[in-house]
Amino acid sequence: MSVIHLSKYRSNNKKLSILEKSTYFECIINKESEKKGKYPKYQGVKLGEVYFIIEKNKKSYEVFAIHFPKDIFNLSDVVNWLNKYTYTFMDENIESFVVNDCCEVIEVIKLEGYFLILYQKGNESLIKKEEDFISLIKNHPLRDMKITLVLNGEQIYYIPKIKIDKRKDVLIVNGNCVVSDYIDEFNGNLGFYLQGNPALPLTFIFAEDTVVYIDILEREQGKIFIVEYDYELYIL
């Protein structure tokens, strides 16, 4: 892991630093939470092409960090995103809500009691109501993860979509080769999917309350994806 200080890429004069992890860049939003040591119980939600790491407090939600997958973003892309976009929360019980310094609302996700709004920065103040968000609301419920996921040695709080090139990559799950196009979330767990059938995975991890380790190894011919976890045998 390396820390990139954005003196060269200063974003609107904000003092930001980005952690470079093996598969993503992490921009810390709430440094006070970072000082607490290990994360409390966080959850990750995907909005646009990034993942928001959020924590629900007693009265509201708070964003700890934003993750930018490396297969989509390089460092310049991250900085450009931070300069161009931002977010806000809207209480669902408020009839109308003013989004300040906004050019366009990009996407909305419905949380428990709140909307998380991703929007492009601008000079307008837009008055929005819940019905204005209907076409933008992403139908992606905030599910509790049923597993603990460790990706290349780092615990993460969401299940990312991991693309696999079947022509040159190898996917090994607990010692078995699985032919799959990508890994993604399925009912709070890990699913292994084929292109063309996003609703139902080829196979998925059934075990709950277990630690799933994913290690991605680079080689000249392609990548090796190794998935390992402990499981229980259910005897009827």
Q: Tens digit of pLDDT for each residue in 26-54?
A: 998 876 655 454 545 688 888 989 999 99
Which pair of structure tokens corresponds to residue 98?
């003013």
Question: What are the tens digits of pLDDT across the range 148-199?
Answer: 999 999 989 899 999 999 999 999 999 999 999 999 999 889 999 999 888 8
**pTM confidence score:** 0.79
Q: Which long-range contacts (CB under 8 A, 24 or more apart) does 54-59 make?
A: 54/111, 54/116, 56/111, 56/112
Q: Please tell me the distance from the alpha carbon of residue 221 to that of residue 216, in angstroms, as a whole number.
A: 14
Q: How far apart are CA 157 and CA 26, in angstroms?
A: 13
Domain ranges of the chain: 2-138, 148-229
Q: Is 230 helix (H, G, I), strand (E, B) or coil?
A: coil
